[in-house]
Amino acid sequence: MKRYLAAVIAALLATAAPAGAEVVDVVVQAGHEGRPASCAPNHVRACNLGASSPAGREILWTPVVADAATAALRAAGLRVARRPADYPQHDVARVAIFIHFDGAVPACASGTSVGFPPGTSRKFVAAWVHAYRNFFPFRFAGENISDGEEHYYGYHKVDAPQKMLIEFGELTCPAQAAWLAPRLRALGTFTARFLIGQLR
């Protein structure tokens, strides 16, 4: 009987969490981090290294935001899986956040935007957009404005009711980049505060 129960419990756990899954409150992914080295071992064909401009490189900015967000979330007692661009694990979480900065041609054609898959709640996305538009003093470019935002590969790496890709701003726009660059850690703590409020 004991062995039967153990088998049932193991089966239930396996259903809830795929093999190798980490069960956490929040997945925080830094876009592009670890590339290009991570692409080949993870069979990534479109090894996108992110936006860059004289003001900075997205691949160097996203980990700063992600680390600050992770530290603030953990300080609040939440469990976080902090992920780079490519990794073998599949996570189970309450929320997954994918951190990016946009690039545009011509410069300043973009701004902040968000991407999310169909399952994510509109209320969650709207709450973020409302909060961030009060903080970010530039253009809001919209929701799911590109194929990359709507069909982001990272959405398939986690089971979570809320998944959102955030483009915090356009780093190829000099004015936006000048505002963003000294605030990378602040963007992380801002995001953590928002998530803590949502997860309460």
Summarize as ranges the residues that interact with Zn ion (CB under 5 A): 31, 50, 100
| Closest-approach residue to Zn ion (CB) | 100
In one-letter notation, the amino acid at residue 190 is: F
Strand-pair category, 158-159 with 91-92: parallel
Q: What is the 3-state secondary structure (H, E, C) of 39-81?
A: CHHHCCCCCCCCCEECCEEHHHHHHHHHHHHHHHHHHCCCCEE
Give least dist CB 98 to Zn ion, A: 9
Q: Are 48 and 32 in contact (CB under 8 A)?
A: yes
Give least dist CB 189 to Zn ion, A: 21
Closer of 146 and 189 to Zn ion (Cβ): 146
Closer of 123 and 151 to Zn ion (Cβ): 151
Closer of 59 and 81 to Zn ion (Cβ): 59
Q: Rounded to whole angstroms, what are the CA distances from 197 to 43, 75, 111, 200?
A: 36, 14, 25, 5
Closer of 31 and 169 to Zn ion (Cβ): 31
Closer of 31 and 188 to Zn ion (Cβ): 31
Backbone angles phi, psi at 65, to 5 degrees: -65, -45
Give least dist CB 84 to Zn ion, A: 13
Give least dist CB 63 to Zn ion, A: 12
Buried/exposed code over 95-109 (b: 16+ C-beta within 10 A; e: otherwise): bbbbbbbbbbeebee
Give residue for tokens 């980049």: 177
Give least dist CB 152 to Zn ion, A: 9
